[in-house]
């Protein structure tokens, strides 16, 4: 298309750079993997994505290396648009991208991809009944007993799946089809009086919910409190979206003093009325102001365990930056002017002496200023390093990852997976050239049974044809004022 003679389709930049024939010739010799390392067709070693496997594994390793999974993770499918001929191409008529390669993905709330797997249709090891359940179990393996929360839609959700995840220390939530095995019959066709009504049933830590929106929505979860209640904030222009219950919504609020302007009172209740267009405001405080202190409080009505506190600031005559800089939960001391230690969990410490209630992962001590000992990481330094880090260096005391990469022969998110068959070395990027496609040493590439014809050296990494390159020696002679070039060729 880029070389088309049509002025609307052709690209002059491509035409000026190279001819179409040269481009096609270059693509013929562009390879990401060694075809000789492919296993026999029909054998367990045969890889349908062998030609691009190094690219896939490189991106997966980097995705996992440079961002530690957050508490909340989402598992879903994505599509790579593709209309060519390929056995694994999928057709999904109800999706925005109808034809292409299906990719299973585990992502952060901000969209960052932690891990992915290309779906191969009938040739995929996870294909068959309960495909969605097997996908979730595949992606949740590295998340066991770390307090993660998984979210997915009804394609993946089943009650046995949530129970299995909870046994492995993983909490989950998802919409569900009412015909799934184990879903309570009482919630399949509940009677609602109006939009927003809910009915719930609980068994152990599993909560099943039927909620009336425009139509009934059915949800099962091991992360929910069945007694939780609060407003639903919809994602509309100019509004704010919340994923937790707003415990302060329309509760009794008071403040030290109230600012008024043009007969409008910025009273304390404006901070909890659910309307972001209104706000509370107190009188100015400072050296020259009559008021020297300020406070605002809300009575939640009962005792709660607080997950997080979110404050939305408003700009007052250009003072927005100053307002955003104020902090009331991360300081201590007699004058409340000493920051809590940076390694305190949630930046919260005791108000009198600054001792941390809990430490962030990777830290110990009253002030959380001591790193984990060699070979340990994580919360309370309770998790042993499992990876094989480069040059024998211990893992990162916070994440457990190998900051300088994996040692030769090892790969994976935690550097605890040996190189695949046919690869070796750092990052497993080197290809074995062993006789009869036999395995090589994962660290050095040494082939016990000899090299594939055409390769030499201890690790069979050098083509013998390089040793037969011609070496040209040139010299110049001058005779009768004429300069001549002479050369000899050695092989």
Predicted confidence at residue 425, as pLDDT, reads 87
pLDDT, residue 141, reads: 92
If one counts the domains in the chain, the total is 2
Per-residue pLDDT at 157 exceeds 70: yes
Instruction: Assess whether 105 and 216 both reside in one domain.
Output: yes
DSSP 472: E
Residue 166 maps to a domain: yes
The separation between the first and the last C-alpha atoms of the chain, rounded to the nearest angstrom, is: 45
The residue range of the domain holding 21 is: 1-30
What number of helices (H) and strands (E) belong to the chain? 6, 27
Can you read off the two tokens belonging to residue 388?
Answer: 């094989």
Q: Give the domain-ending residue among 221, 248, 280.
A: 221
The answer to whether the CB of 172 falls within 8 A of the CB of 156 is: no
Domain-embedded: residue 473: no
Q: Residues 103, 200: one domain?
A: yes
The segment with the largest mean pLDDT, out of 219-228, 303-312, 468-477, is 219-228
- The answer on 12 and 133 residing in a single domain is no
Q: What percent of the chain is modeled with pLDDT above 70?
A: 82
- Are residue 136 and residue 183 in the same domain, yes or no? yes
Quick check: is 254 in a domain?
Answer: no
Query: Considering the domain boundaries, does residue 63 fall inside one?
Result: no
My answer on whether 131 and 26 are in the same domain is: no
**Whether residue 306 has pLDDT greater than 80:** no
pLDDT given at position 310: 65
Give the distance, in angstroms, between the CA of residue 311 and the centroid of all CA atoms in the same chain: 27
Structure tokens at 184: 């309570």
Whether residues 88 and 188 share a domain: the answer is yes
Q: Are residues 76 and 23 in the same domain?
A: no
Which residues, other chains included, contact 160 with Cβ-Cβ below 8 Å and sequence gap of 6+? 133, 181, 182
Confidence (pLDDT) at 305: 61
Read off the CATH number of the domain in which 161 is found.
3.90.350.10
Examine residue 409 and state whether it is found in any structural domain, yes or no.
Answer: no
Average pLDDT taken over every residue of the chain: 81
Q: What is the CA radius of gyration of the chain?
A: 32
Asked whether residue 124 falls in the same domain as residue 190, the answer is yes
pLDDT at 171 over 60: yes
| Boundary-marking domain end, from 187, 221, 255 | 221
**Beta 171-175 vs 149-152: how paired, if at all?**
parallel
Mutual angle of helices 131-140 and 159-167, in 10-degree steps:
20
pLDDT tens profile 177-212: 999 999 999 999 888 877 778 888 988 889 999 988
Q: pLDDT digits over 256-290, tens only? A: 988 887 767 788 888 887 776 678 888 888 778 88
Is the same domain home to 6 and 80?
no
397, pLDDT greater than 50:
yes
Return d(Cα 19, Cα 279) in angstroms, integer.
Answer: 65
Are 84 and 151 in the same domain? yes
pLDDT at 160 over 90: yes
CB neighbour burial string for 98-123, b if at least 16 within 10 angstroms, e if fewer: eebbbbbbbbeeeeebbbbbebbeee
Query: Of 221, 240, 273, at which residue does a domain stop?
Result: 221
Question: Does residue 263 lie in a domain region?
Answer: no
Beta bridge partners of 356: 349
Shared domain for 13 and 139, answered yes or no, is no
Do 93 and 188 reside in the same domain of the chain? yes
Q: What pLDDT was estimated at residue 342?
A: 87
What's the confidence (pLDDT) of residue 391? 87
Residue 445's nearest CA partner among 464, 426, 463 is: 426
d(CA 333, CA 230): 36
- 443 in any annotated domain: no
Check residue 486 and give its pLDDT: 45
The answer as to whether 253 is a domain residue is: no
DSSP 318-368: T-HHHHHT--SSSEETTTT-EEPPTTBGGG-B-TTT--BSSBPTTEETTTT
Whether this prediction's pTM lies above 0.85 is answered by no
C-alpha 202/C-alpha 225 separation (Å) is: 10
Predicted confidence at residue 177, as pLDDT, reads: 95
């Amino acid at each position: 298309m880029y070389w088309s003679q049509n002025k609307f389709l052709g690209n002059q930049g491509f035409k000026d750079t190279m001819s179409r024939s040269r481009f096609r010739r270059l693509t013929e010799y562009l390879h990401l993997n060694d075809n000789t390392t492919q296993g026999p067709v029909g054998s367990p070693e045969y890889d349908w994505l062998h030609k691009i496997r190094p690219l896939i594994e490189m991106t997966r390793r980097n995705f996992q290396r440079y961002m530690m999974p957050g508490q909340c993770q989402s598992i879903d499918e994505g599509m790579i648009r593709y209309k060519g001929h390929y056995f694994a191409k999928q057709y999904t008529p109800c999706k925005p991208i109808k034809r292409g390669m299906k990719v299973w993905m585990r992502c952060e709330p901000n969209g960052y991809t932690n891990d992915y797997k290309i779906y191969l249709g009938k040739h995929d090891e996870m294909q068959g009944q309960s495909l969605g359940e097997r996908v979730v179990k595949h992606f949740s393996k590295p998340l066991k007993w770390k307090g993660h929360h998984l979210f997915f839609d009804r394609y993946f959700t089943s009650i046995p799946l949530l129970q299995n995840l909870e046994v492995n220390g993983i909490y989950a939530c998802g919409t569900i089809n009412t015909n799934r095995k184990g879903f309570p019959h009482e919630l399949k066709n509940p009677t609602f009086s109006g939009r927003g009504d809910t009915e719930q049933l609980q068994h152990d830590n599993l909560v099943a919910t039927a909620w009336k929106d425009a139509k009934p929505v059915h949800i099962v979860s091991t992360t929910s409190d069945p007694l939780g209640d609060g407003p639903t904030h919809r994602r509309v222009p100019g509004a704010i979206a919340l994923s937790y219950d707003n415990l302060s919504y329309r509760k009794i609020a008071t403040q030290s003093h109230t600012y008024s302007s043009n007969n409008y009172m910025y009273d304390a209740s404006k901070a909890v009325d659910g309307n972001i267009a209104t706000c509370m405001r107190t009188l100015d405080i400072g050296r020259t102001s009559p008021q020297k202190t300020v406070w605002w409080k809300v009575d939640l009505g009962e005792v709660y365990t607080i997950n997080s506190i979110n404050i939305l600031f408003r700009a007052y005559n250009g003072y927005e930056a100053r307002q955003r800089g104020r902090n009331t939960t991360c300081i201590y001391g007699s004058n409340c002017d000493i920051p809590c230690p940076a390694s305190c969990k949630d930046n919260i410490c005791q108000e009198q002496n600054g001792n941390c209630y809990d430490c962030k992962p990777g830290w110990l001590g009253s002030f959380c200023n001591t790193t984990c000992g060699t070979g340990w990481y994580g919360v309370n330094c309770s998790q042993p390093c499992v990876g094989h880090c480069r040059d024998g260096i211990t893992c990162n005391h916070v994440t457990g990852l190998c900051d300088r990469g994996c040692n030769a022969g090892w790969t994976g998110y935690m550097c605890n997976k040996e190189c695949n068959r046919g690869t070796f070395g750092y990052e497993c990027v080197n290809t074995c050239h062993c006789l009869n496609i036999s395995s090589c040493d994962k660290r050095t590439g040494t082939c016990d049974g000899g090299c594939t014809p055409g390769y030499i050296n201890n690790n069979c990494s050098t083509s013998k044809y390089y040793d037969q390159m011609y070496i040209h020696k040139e010299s110049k002679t001058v005779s009768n004022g004429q300069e001549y070039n002479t050369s000899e060729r050695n092989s």
